[in-house]
Amino acid sequence: MTSYSIYVVDDEAVVRDGLTLALKKKNYKVQAFASAEYALKAIDENPPDLVLLDIGLPGMSGVEALEIIKAHHPQVIIVMITAYEDVQTVVSSMKNGAYEYVVKPVQMDALLVILRNAFETITMRKEIQALHEKYLKENLPCFIGESNAIQDVMELVTKVAQSQDTPVLIQGETGTGKELIAKAVHYKSPNFKGPMVAVNCAAVPQELIESELFGYEKGAFTGAEKAGKAGLVEEAAGGTLFLDEVGDLSMEAQAKLLRFLEEGEYYRVGGTKKHAVKTRLISATNKDLLHLVDKGLFRLDLYHRFAVVKLEVPALSQRPDDIIPMAKQFLVEFNQKFSKSFSGISPEAQAALKGYNWPGNVRELKNLIERAVLLSAGPELGLEDLDLKDGNGQESANQQDNGHHLPSVCPAGIDFPAIIADIEKSYYEEALNLAGGNESKAAQLLNLTRDKFRYRRQKLNGVR
């Protein structure tokens, strides 16, 4: 059973001693103070779970002490004690953060009920904090960094996450980890127990984006499901809707989104019933939206709604100190995925990783480590295992035979479909990096149609 700590602050010795004795009998850890000044010093050194605080103290009053405690230790629950029902003072205390109040002479049965409810609140708060930490650990395993640039970003993420609904615009080059930043905002926010729904606006045909976002009623258009369908906005209720590549939204879709952001309401395609949903919108782009505004391709009013808070994710080439820590994290991840046991990355390979300019950013680094772990034998990743280009964009001679390092069939067997899927995925991402993010050019590099390239890549990445 958890033993909660209580500080009793009252200038009357009989009240102070009586409460201390009674609460200790209930297995609470109790300390008593005759003045607010002594109590504040103890709270700064070792904050309790709860403070029983007399309003009418000599020197600093209980109301003054309440304000100081809440300013420096907002997690501490405070129950006020008053000698008489001074309504105005009690109301003021409750507005300033007091949890509850009791009237002298204190009735122990009533006080114990208040304490039990208060400690249930503390227990729930600690459980939520534990869930936060669990979600962050499970969902953000690889967004790490030691550079000042990324630490500044993560500091801003923590501040932004305190809000449930403030829109956030994340800007950065392709592959910098914008979706990971969006996840960080979501899982650090009060919405973390709700869903995070992501959609790549560039991957959805413009004629379908409205129905994808807002859903549709039955018979809304040819090919619509008979029962109709809820949209992604509705799926994200109580959580976060992440719109990636918002620079590719049509003007019509922008108008619908603007209405939703301003009013929190929308209509399904083909419907007349108004729907209301509370969700946080996080958007991301690798384009200059203000430049699109100047060209008449993006609404200025929507830009301002998107960009209440802007987060700029620096390119990997701007934070070389993060390359090796991230590479090692990816190594651990793919060791586990492919049942490998690479012990680390050789000094020569680390130097090559830090010397490369990473046009594909974090995504390229992750794909490179995934391919190296899958195709190499170990015991550590060496320079010959990395599919890197030198400063002139030429492949090193000792890297040209990578394709021959396929895993052998061992007595325990191998997951052949997974290996083939990972190889296929690796080629798609490599072609996309070489094409500078242009899907049509990437498809040509692989002798595929653009539609087949997009379909297979989305399927391999688990995109609906």
pLDDT at 154: 84
- Tell whether domain 5-132 is in CATH 3.40.1110.10: no
User: Where along the chain do the CATH 1.10.8.60 domains lie?
Assistant: 317-460
Say how many C-beta atoms besides its own lie within 10 A of residue 173's C-beta.
Answer: 20
| Cα–Cα distance measured from residue 432 to residue 426, given in angstroms and rounded to the nearest whole number | 10
DSSP for 307-331?
TTEEEEPPPGGG-GGGHHHHHHHHH
Q: Are 139 and 177 in contact (CB under 8 A)?
A: no
Q: Residue 73: CB partners within 8 Å, gap ≥ 6?
A: 43, 44, 47
Question: How does pLDDT run along the chain (464 residues), one tens digit per residue?
Answer: 568 999 999 999 999 999 999 999 999 999 999 999 999 999 999 999 999 999 989 899 999 999 999 988 988 999 999 876 666 777 778 888 899 988 888 999 999 999 999 988 888 777 766 766 666 656 554 455 668 888 888 888 888 888 888 999 999 988 888 888 898 888 888 888 889 899 888 888 877 888 888 888 776 666 556 667 888 888 998 899 999 999 988 888 888 888 888 887 887 877 778 888 888 999 999 999 999 999 999 999 999 999 999 999 888 888 888 899 889 888 988 888 888 888 899 999 998 998 898 888 888 898 999 999 998 887 889 988 987 764 333 443 333 333 434 555 656 566 777 778 878 888 888 888 787 778 888 888 888 888 888 888 877 776 54
Omega before 141 within 30 of 0, i.e. cis: no
Q: Which CATH architecture has domain 140-314?
A: 3-Layer(aba) Sandwich (3.40)
Residues in the chain: 464
Query: 317-460: what fold?
Result: Helicase, Ruva Protein; domain 3 (1.10.8)
Q: Are 370 and 334 in contact (CB under 8 A)?
A: yes
User: Where along the chain do the CATH 3.40.50.2300 domains lie?
Assistant: 5-132
Give the model confidence (pLDDT) of 75-127 as tens digits: 899 999 987 666 677 777 888 889 998 888 899 999 999 999 998 888 877 77
- Angle at which helices 323-337 and 361-375 pack, to 10 degrees? 40
Candidates 340, 244, 257, 230; CA nearest to 286 is 244
Give the model confidence (pLDDT) of 287-322 as tens digits: 999 999 999 999 999 999 999 999 998 888 888 888
User: Where along the chain do the CATH 3.40.50.300 domains lie?
Assistant: 140-314
